[in-house]
Structure 1
Amino acid sequence: MEKNMENLLEQMTLEEKIAQLMQLATFFYKGAAGDGEITGPLEDMGITNEVVQNSGSVLGASGAKEVSNIQKEHLADNRLGIPLLMMADIVHGFKTIFPVPLAIGCSWDQELAEKSAEIAAKEASVSGVHVTFAPMVDLVRDPRWGRVMESTGEDPFLNAVFAKAFVRGFQGDDLTHDHFRVAACVKHFAAYGAPEGGRDYNTVNMSERQLLESYLPAYKAALDEGCEMVMTAFNTVDGIPASGNKKLMRDLLRDEWGFDGVIISDWGAVKELIPHGVAEDEREAAKKALEAGVDIEMMTACYAKSLQELVESGEMSESLIDESVLRILQLKNKLGLFENPYRGTSEELEEELIMSTEHRKVAKELAVKSCVLLKNENVLPLKKNQKVAIVGPFATNGDVLGPWSWHGSRDDAVKVYDGFLTKTAASNITVAKGSDIETVTEDQLTEAVNAAKDADVIVLAVGEESEMSGEGGCRADIKLPEAQLTLIQKMKELDKPLVTVLFNGRPLDLHGIIDQTDAVLEAWYPGTEAGHAIADLLYGDANPSGRLSMSFPYSVGQVPVYYNCFNTGRPQGDDKQERYVTHYLDIPNEPLLPFGYGLSYTTFAYSEVSLSSEKLSGDSEIKASVHVTNTGNVAGEETVQFYIRDIAGEVVRPLRELKGYEKIMLNPGETKVVTFTITEEQLRYYHSDLSFTSDNGAFQALIGPNSNDLAIGNFYLKK
């Protein structure tokens, strides 16, 4: 098969090769809805119809009818009959929308995460999509950044677990013959999740050791799982924009990691080398990007306008272009597009599979597992005979899908009110909007008071509209908008039990919420089955089991705040009044809610940590065990978390690092023993010379329900 692709490459002209490296949006193509709005965009980009006819891939095409039409028209015009690759952002569902990835991270359930990606791939593939721009595995520590919602959180280990799960779900075992799967494209390489100030597209500045230790593992995990593509980041890495970063793409990704798949720029990122200040013009941008290893240029035309001249002038070898084209052809071949350019595309299967009962069932299950109970002062679960007032801008709002749900429909989403109707009689429910997202009127407040005055309990459905997060959705003030805080305060004056359900794409500053209400359920953007999942949780038909995959700050002034931080030479001790230690005068050092935190309708007790040995050699292992008991009255699922601390390293080590976890179901009174294995390999880290090894010395094994409340066992490594 590879030989066939090399033969095809030999038949291509230089112009045809260069065009294969271009990705254009759907509206450039004949057969698209509107029949290709070509003339204006072509003039704007400075490219020709011939470039479009020979281009290699399409951005954003979906829907079996449209995709088939585009492919048919393209093949009629393409001299060598090379099919198009159809790529799209299928991030947390195609039409059946799952919780946003940050919420999926809070499920700590890799099997369900994999299943969600499998279903997304199935729905996308029958609609003509071949490649999804997912998973995004950027590690994030700053909730001001809008794309926090697209990550699975702040921990390298957990992010790597989910990276692998998503890739397995999207790609399956056989992309060539399993036409219900799509190729995955891990993004954004690299360190896009660490922009200064939490501002999208901003500069990233960190040490190489920090990059290797915290930010790169999840990308590597996705590639180890067989991920077919990599997307470059918008940001700089060590002063060089990722899309022109040879050290990052060729030296690390290609040579050291051995990745031989396709690298694609993000939207416009090649041309953005100019405003970044590393290229004077499009010609230099094209040269730097291709030399760095970027195979496909998305939605700018630097390659199309400049590569031929660079080759003909002798400034660039045509072999560089050949390498990139061959990788693209090989991916098309692996997807079986030369045998069947309409791979998987089917209007009949669209009708049968998309938004099927089975798919919605999984969406509901994952939504239930992703919600995190943050507070409960004996208010939840609700009783089905209680009179409930549902108040807030999300009471009957379909904006529960979140960013990157472009094929999802708010009309299809189950609203909070609709979910409650499945649990109790309509006569037990009153509803009032109470406020808009960012504004409130006296009339709205009066309506809310009237709706709630006879209720036994008030459920506040509040949060951020989806446009307040996602790409370009960065916020300096991460509190709930003032209008909704006013609504909460107004409801507080009624002196009734208050339950808050939060819809948001980032960890918020919860002041005005957690201190004013009796229970808080963090629902994130739960997806298509939002209302059903929330009703199950609030009425006790499901027991909350989500655990935070990202810390909630006490205040935005702490940001970035994360659990696996360094101790410093002057750590704060028990005496919070001591001045000459690392601290704030006005707020705590610790986050309001730590990584791994979450409540249940039952309680769990942990024993001390039991170690099979206190000494670890290079080739031995230690078993670390705890007894976990359900001390409450209902069955519940607990996520037992295992951390390690290196007491003294060659460089400073984090206070604790997640190394494993296990989810267990316990009936009331039941006890289970949970055991984790410690090996020397888990104790390795990047030293000052970037060697990856371990040191002899003292360590701690820490086990508990979150990153703060941990039982400790001490052991020593002697290799």
Structure 2
Amino acid sequence: MTADPEGLLAAMTVEEKIGQLNLLPAGEGMATGAGDATPLAERLDAGLVGAVFGVKSRESARAMQERALAGSRHGAPLYFAEDVIHGHRTVFPLPIALACSWDMALIEETAAHAAREAAEDGVHQVYAPMVDVSRDPRWGRVAESPGEDPTLAALYAAACVRGLQGADVAAEGRVAACLKHFIAYGAPQSGRDYDNASLGWAELFEVHAPPFRAGVEAGAASAMVAFNAVNRTPMHAHAPLVEGWLRGRLGFEGLVVSDYTGVRELQAHGLGDRAATVARALHAGVDMDMVGEDYLAALPALARDGIDCAESGVRFTAAEIVALIDRACLRVLRFKQRLGLLADPFRSLRGEGPPRAPSATGRALARRAAGASAVLLKNDGVLPLRSGPLTAALVGPLADDRANLIGTWSVAGDAAQVRTLREGLEGREGLTLICAPGANLVEEPWLVDRLNCHGPTVRPDPRPEAEMIAEAVAAARLADIVIAAVGEAKEHAGEASSRLSPDLPAPQRRLIAALAKTGRPLVVAVCAGRPLALAEVAEAADALVMAWHGGVEAGPGLADILTGAAEPSARLAAALPAHPGQTPLSHAAEPTGRPNPGRFRKFLTGWLDLPDGPGQTDGLYPFGFGLAYTTFRHGAPQADRREGLGEEDRLAVRIDVTNAGDRPGVETVQLYLSDPVARSTRPARALKAFRRLSLAPGETGRATFEIDVEMLRYPLADGPEDERRVWDPGAFTLWLGPNSRDAQALEIAWRA
């Protein structure tokens, strides 16, 4: 076998080249699409597989590699892939939770640990990071998303790529990142998973493109196209965005793979029969066909005869099809070369497999990440839990749960390895627990069945609800304080788990209301996979923590926050709505022509059944919000100059922040920008940068930001081919503060 991709391509037949485009499951994972069972062994023996995903051990991967090498005339190796969404064996908090840390070093560290574990299992490519910006809590896959903001998502994407790939993706303990899902998958109509996105091109490039741009600039080796259609063209056939923008504009030179049966699903999108859709997908730049084997079935005839289908408008000569096959196959071979597999097909496949349990090092990192991801939303002086003798009623369906706290898409994780909140609190000096579940996660039998689709994680208590609530209330009355752990089941969020009403399920709301009536201080920890509408819960609680699904160390990490062993520092990566119907929402919403009602209060942009004022557009708790156990005093923002001139100028803006409390803490100073007069309507406030300041009691720190023209630019586009970044001279408003709502204004101007 030659280690030269071009030489290897030249030696292959058309059928062998097509085989390299075939991406198949190992048969050890789960099916999420429309694919039929595939005779993998037969394909390996015939040299008709380019890669395999879902292998669960180094030993099985090595056996498949040996078989593939024997079945290929040229010894073309496989590469192995896996879903590593938020950790591998050591499962970290969900991506939406990790994004709430606003700590890129921590995010990079978790990605690097996941890469080492995946590589130890023989994995070469991971289907991560998922960098779809989402502003709709109804969409279940917001659990895998870095949240609502393109700037934060871009930093998250780059940190994940650096952590997964390092300086050399072929080095020991490194894996290839796969940016997904390209593009606007997080903007489906009505929040329904797999649904299509219809949006302005400028919005696509301003909101949804930045994390992909950042991932490409960080060196991401591969990308995956999305299931959805964008402006009526399915992404698996969207040549202007895949070949045109991703490759042409961004200069992406890596591998593009389909999603699970994504090529086959082009037929359901209405783009024609198998031959027509395969031709369009290959032309669009989708190099590998996952699961469906449509490339394998249709390309030989297309390479021989071409296609001329008036009905679907697909016309390619046989020579054009062969050229597209060569293009895709060369990209696959170059990807394998970058992974080091052409030189050493058994890279990462030697030796015995590692232990399945997370290591002590991994657990320590997971615990730190769980604490750093938990957002303190409200605290009326009841947290941290006081030291000394204290009796706490620990209630709620997630207080002693393993199966759900691990979170969705934890495919190599083991829920038995999860440490619960009860375990995290037990043994804390002076703390006595009285435990009662209090409520079931959900009450509908059909929903229980749906949530258990990947194995039993929801096991309803058969007792009447009144009896369960009475038991929890009795425990509360015996205690000094109540801690309620409530939220969603693991599969209540994630793929194909859209919700019409993103709020706390009814049985748990009734439990919280009953506990509040006891008069005992009430701490509510919400463990969920999406932003939830928590107005009723916030009103009832004395303290409220958005803890998300925290992974294998969810319980101890949250317990560290509740007890004060760790300081809360997280900030929301997505706003929490005031009401389930207040979706989608974002701090960056554009102003309308009716911001002021004048004499007629009725004629104002807003919700009739939601009070006017803060929260109308940005939710109950806005983007960037989060409390600490200390207080921070922000000085007035200052600038070295108030006016910039031309393309090369720079301004320095600063703000001093003082820790005015008696505990150490981390303040995240956020910089937003408004462009009040421009050639198009601009967001009310757009995040541009942030600084995290670690301050001791009484200490003052300074956050400094550099302002340049690039920060003022925004995209305009009439289509995917003509994206251009512009800026408009004039006045701008900078907003500096602890979140997107509570910020101080600083006026500047920039002249051409």
Q: State whether residues 103 and 371 of structure 1, in contact with CA within 8 Å, keep that contact through their aligned partners in structure 2.
A: yes
Q: State whether residues 19 and 51 of structure 1, in contact with CA within 8 Å, keep that contact through their aligned partners in structure 2.
A: no
What's the C-alpha RMSD, in Å, of the aligned pairs? 2.0
Separation (CA, whole Å) in 2 of partners of 1:267 and 1:430 = 46
Equivalent AA in structure 2 for residue 358 of structure 1: T
Which of 373, 376, 384 is the matching residue for 2:376? 373
Q: State whether residues 136 and 150 of structure 1, in contact with CA within 8 Å, keep that contact through their aligned partners in structure 2.
A: yes
1:435 aligns with 2:439: yes
1:620 aligns with 2:630: no
Which of 70, 92, 112 is the matching residue for 1:76? 70
Superposition deviation, residue 51 in structure 1? 7.9
| DSSP-derived class of the 1:276 partner | coil
Superposition deviation, residue 262 in structure 1? 0.8
Query: Following superposition of structure 1 onto structure 2, how do residues 361-400 of structure 1 map, counting pairs within 5 Å?
Result: 361-384=364-387, 385-398=389-402, 399-400=404-405
Partner of 2:726: 693
Superposition deviation, residue 663 in structure 1? 0.5
Partner of 1:208: 201
Partner of 2:456: none
Equivalent AA in structure 2 for residue 614 of structure 1: R
Partner of 2:167: 173
Which of 79, 85, 90 is the matching residue for 1:85? 79
Which of 532, 551, 563 is the matching residue for 1:508? 532
| DSSP-derived class of the 2:511 partner | helix
Equivalent AA in structure 2 for residue 647 of structure 1: P
Query: Following superposition of structure 1 onto structure 2, how do residues 235-274 of structure 1 map, counting pairs within 5 Å?
Result: 235-274=228-267
Separation (CA, whole Å) in 1 of partners of 2:706 and 2:730 = 18
Which of 294, 302, 305 is the matching residue for 1:310? 302
Q: 1:663 to 1:49 in 2, by over 3 A?
A: closer
Equivalent AA in structure 1 for residue 708 of structure 2: T
1:652 aligns with 2:652: no
Q: 1:697 to 1:340 in 2, by over 3 A?
A: same
Which of 544, 547, 551 is the matching residue for 1:527? 551
Partner of 2:17: 17
Partner of 2:625: 597
Partner of 1:633: 662
Separation (CA, whole Å) in 2 of partners of 1:338 and 1:110 = 33
Separation (CA, whole Å) in 2 of partners of 1:663 and 1:577 = 43
Which of 474, 496, 500 is the matching residue for 1:476? 500
Partner of 2:58: 64
Partner of 1:36: none
Partner of 2:461: none
Query: Following superposition of structure 1 onto structure 2, how do residues 426-465 of structure 1 map, counting pairs within 5 Å?
Result: 428-439=432-443, 441-465=465-489
Which of 303, 320, 332 is the matching residue for 2:324? 320
Equivalent AA in structure 2 for residue 54 of structure 1: L
Separation (CA, whole Å) in 2 of partners of 1:674 and 1:465 = 39
Separation (CA, whole Å) in 1 of partners of 2:44 and 2:531 = 48
Partner of 1:358: 361
Separation (CA, whole Å) in 2 of partners of 1:458 and 1:64 = 46
Q: State whether residues 391 and 458 of structure 1, in contact with CA within 8 Å, keep that contact through their aligned partners in structure 2.
A: yes
1:339 aligns with 2:374: no
Equivalent AA in structure 2 for residue 417 of structure 1: R
Separation (CA, whole Å) in 2 of partners of 1:64 and 1:309 = 37
Q: 1:138 to 1:674 in 2, by over 3 A?
A: same
Q: State whether residues 20 and 54 of structure 1, in contact with CA within 8 Å, keep that contact through their aligned partners in structure 2.
A: yes
Which of 276, 281, 284 is the matching residue for 1:292? 284
Equivalent AA in structure 1 for residue 339 of structure 2: L
The C-alpha deviation readout for 1:476-534, integer Å capped at 9, x for no partner, is 11111111111112212221111001110111010331111111111101111111111
Q: State whether residues 141 and 153 of structure 1, in contact with CA within 8 Å, keep that contact through their aligned partners in structure 2.
A: yes
Q: 1:608 to 1:144 in 2, by over 3 A?
A: same
Separation (CA, whole Å) in 2 of partners of 1:713 and 1:551 = 24
Q: 1:3 to 1:402 in 2, by over 3 A?
A: closer
Query: How many residue pairs align between the two structures?
Result: 703
Partner of 2:737: 704
| DSSP-derived class of the 2:523 partner | strand
Partner of 2:100: 106
Separation (CA, whole Å) in 1 of partners of 2:364 and 2:629 = 23
Superposition deviation, residue 557 in structure 1? 2.1
Partner of 2:179: 186
Gaps (5+ residues) in structure 2? 30-34, 307-316, 444-463
Q: 1:50 to 1:568 in 2, by over 3 A?
A: same
1:407 aligns with 2:412: yes
| DSSP-derived class of the 2:100 partner | helix
Partner of 1:556: 580
Separation (CA, whole Å) in 2 of partners of 1:347 and 1:609 = 58
The C-alpha deviation readout for 1:67-102, integer Å capped at 9, x for no partner, is 122222222322221111111110110010111000
Q: 1:572 to 1:364 in 2, by over 3 A?
A: farther
Superposition deviation, residue 25 in structure 1? 0.8
Separation (CA, whole Å) in 2 of partners of 1:631 and 1:96 = 37
Equivalent AA in structure 1 for residue 621 of structure 2: L
TM-score by length of 2: 0.91
| DSSP-derived class of the 2:261 partner | coil
Equivalent AA in structure 2 for residue 617 of structure 1: L
| DSSP-derived class of the 2:529 partner | coil
Partner of 2:708: 679
Equivalent AA in structure 2 for residue 586 of structure 1: D
The C-alpha deviation readout for 1:575-631, integer Å capped at 9, x for no partner, is 898112212211142311100000111111111111111110122211111111111
Q: State whether residues 567 and 629 of structure 2, in contact with CA within 8 Å, keep that contact through their aligned partners in structure 1.
A: yes
The C-alpha deviation readout for 1:373-428, integer Å capped at 9, x for no partner, is 011111111024210111011111002111111111111111000000142357x1
| DSSP-derived class of the 1:558 partner | coil
Partner of 1:41: 37
| DSSP-derived class of the 1:111 partner | helix
Deviates more, 1:691-700 or 1:239-248: 691-700
The C-alpha deviation readout for 1:156-196, integer Å capped at 9, x for no partner, is 111100100000000011122x1200000000111000000
Separation (CA, whole Å) in 2 of partners of 1:362 and 1:507 = 24
Partner of 1:717: 750
Separation (CA, whole Å) in 1 of partners of 2:523 and 2:347 = 48
| DSSP-derived class of the 2:271 partner | coil
Q: State whether residues 126 and 346 of structure 1, in contact with CA within 8 Å, keep that contact through their aligned partners in structure 2.
A: no
Separation (CA, whole Å) in 2 of partners of 1:688 and 1:345 = 47
Superposition deviation, residue 447 in structure 1? 2.4
Q: State whether residues 617 and 680 of structure 1, in contact with CA within 8 Å, keep that contact through their aligned partners in structure 2.
A: no
1:587 aligns with 2:610: yes
Separation (CA, whole Å) in 2 of partners of 1:422 and 1:570 = 57
Q: State whether residues 479 and 511 of structure 1, in contact with CA within 8 Å, keep that contact through their aligned partners in structure 2.
A: no
